[in-house]
């Protein structure tokens, strides 16, 4: 059985933190093969704005997208299924993740 890769970083600069996490795991190209489809699964289960910290911060999602792009994937998709009773599309919009996906040209 292979071991999972795990890395933790603390700091104020979201992009620098995400880059460092991938660097600690051997670089983004060690984790993602060129030409593959990459699915990013943030926590977007509830229709809450970013400042509530209920969902993954959209700037973290943006930083991951930008880092993943360095591996030249075929496609990047952000995927989520909202909590029971919540509308997934609304959750993406209210959380700010849909705006990031649109700005970065990534499918949801």
What band does 86 get if pLDDT is binned at 50, 70 and 90?
A: very high
At residue 5 the predicted structure's pLDDT band, cuts being 50, 70 and 90, is confident
Q: State pTM to two decimals.
A: 0.93
Cα–Cα dist 31/76, whole Å: 14
Backbone angles phi, psi at 94, to 5 degrees: -65, -35
pLDDT of residue 1: 75
Q: CA separation (Å) from 5 to 23, 25, 35?
A: 11, 6, 21
CA–CA distance, 6 with 94 (Å, rounded to integer)? 29
């Amino acid at each position: 059985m292979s071991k999972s890769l795990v890395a933790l970083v603390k700091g104020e600069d979201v992009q620098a933190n995400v880059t460092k996490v991938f660097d600690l795991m051997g670089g983004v190209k060690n984790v993602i093969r060129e030409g593959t489809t990459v699915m990013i699964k943030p926590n977007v289960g509830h229709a809450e704005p970013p400042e509530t910290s209920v969902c993954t911060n959209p700037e973290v999602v943006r930083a991951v997208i930008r880092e993943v792009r360095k591996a030249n994937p075929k496609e990047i998709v952000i995927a989520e299924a909202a909590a029971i009773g919540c509308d997934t599309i609304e959750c993406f919009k209210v959380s700010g993740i849909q705006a990031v996906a649109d700005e970065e040209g990534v499918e949801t």
